């Protein structure tokens, strides 16, 4: 009988800094809300009106703002498990640039669309925030690099990484179209940018932007590695 055991990866340097910054902002947001002070989301979240007012730092700060505990915990776990694996495979420089391209790219496009089509409406001033967008970008990258590895939907239903991410994209598309959530459009945009980066990684422009290649490191250097199932190829299970 085959036994498959999951071992959590080591939290890598870039992701450790990201989680510390996000945790600090979450605590600060909670404290300010408790005392009835100003809403930190309006300052650090990204909106077209904020950028037009000169708050350029919002292009970097908006993923760090989480407003509820469960959202913070779930997003932090994705950064830890998926993000750490990607950083180990690519190296810190490529991984950091991958995140920045997604974060800044989504921010600029989101703000530009709101400026051109929603100026003067509530959408124009509505901020987006949280790590969900970059988490979706990580998951898309992960599913393209390792399409047959197994993931669990809602921690219950096992499926291939590729199928898992298609389901996530479908859910976000439904919410964007039928629920009118601006954040859902931002999440889809993050997925799209991530797909283009991985799909066209050999193109000179993308390689230059990342300043490195996506060549995988040897698996022996990773704390999280794949073992082959006797009946299945390619390998699908974590040990």
Residue ranges per structural domain of the chain: 13-222
* Local structure of 63: helix, strand or coil: helix
Do 205 and 148 form a contact (C-beta atoms < 8 A)? no
- Whether the pLDDT of residue 40 is over 60: the answer is yes
Q: What's residue 239's pLDDT?
A: 30
Q: Which of 35-49, 94-108, 165-179 tops mean pLDDT?
A: 94-108
Q: What's the average model confidence in pLDDT over 141-168?
A: 78
DSSP secondary structure of 90-140: H-HHHHHHHHHHHHHHHHHHHHHHHHHH-TTSHHHHPPB-SSHHHHHHHHH
- The residue ranking higher by pLDDT, 86 or 183, is 86
Q: Provide the pLDDT for residue 152.
A: 67
Query: Which one has a higher pLDDT value, 137 or 207?
Result: 137
The encoded tokens of residue 86 equal 């990607």
User: 52 pLDDT exceeds 80?
Assistant: yes
Percent of the chain predicted with pLDDT > 70: 82
- Give the strand pairing for 226-227 and 237-238: antiparallel
The C-alpha atoms of residue 187 and residue 124 are separated, in whole angstroms, by 17
pLDDT digits (tens, 9 = 90+) for 111-124: 999 999 888 888 88
Percent of the chain with pLDDT over 90: 43
Is the CATH number of domain 13-222 1.50.10.10? no
- Per-residue pLDDT band for 110 (boundaries 50, 70, 90) equals very high
What integer pLDDT is reported at residue 147 of this predicted model?
A: 83
pLDDT of residue 123: 85
Number of Cβ atoms within 10 Å of the Cβ of 204: 7
* pLDDT one-digit tens code per residue, 122-153: 888 889 999 999 999 999 999 888 888 777 66
Which pLDDT tens digit goes with each residue over 11-38?
899 999 999 999 999 999 999 988 887 7
- The two tokens of residue 119 are 């100026």
pLDDT band at 2 (very low <50, low <70, confident <90, very high): very low
Predicted pLDDT at 97: 93
Query: With contact defined as beta carbons under 8 Å apart, do 87 and 18 qualify?
Result: no
Q: How many CB atoms lie within 10 A of CB 202?
A: 9
Q: What is the mean pLDDT of the chain?
A: 81
Entry pTM:
0.79
């Amino acid at each position: 009988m085959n036994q498959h055991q999951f071992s959590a990866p080591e939290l890598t340097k870039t992701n450790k800094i990201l989680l510390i910054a996000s945790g600090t902002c979450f605590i600060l947001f909670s404290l300010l809300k408790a005392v009835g002070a100003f809403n930190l989301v309006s300052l650090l979240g990204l909106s077209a009106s904020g950028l037009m007012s000169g708050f350029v730092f919002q292009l970097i700060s908006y993923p760090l703002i989480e407003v509820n505990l469960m959202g913070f915990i779930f997003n932090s776990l994705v950064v830890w498990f998926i993000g750490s694996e990607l950083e180990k495979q690519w190296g810190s420089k490529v991984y950091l640039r991958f995140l920045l391209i997604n974060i800044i790219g989504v921010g600029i496009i989101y703000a530009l669309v709101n400026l051109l089509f929603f100026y003067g409406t509530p959408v124009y001033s509505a901020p987006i925030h949280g790590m969900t967008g970059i988490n979706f970008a990580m998951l898309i990258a992960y599913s393209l690099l390792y399409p047959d590895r197994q993931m669990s939907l809602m921690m219950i239903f096992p499926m291939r990484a590729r199928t898992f991410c298609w389901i996530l994209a479908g859910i976000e598309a439904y919410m964007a179209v039928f629920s009118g959530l601006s954040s859902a459009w931002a999440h889809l945009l993050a997925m799209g940018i991530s797909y283009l980066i991985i799909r066209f990684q050999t193109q000179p422009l993308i390689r230059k932007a990342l300043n490195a290649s996506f060549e995988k490191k040897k698996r022996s250097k990773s704390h999280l590695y794949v073992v082959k199932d006797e009946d299945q190829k390619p390998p699908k299970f974590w040990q």
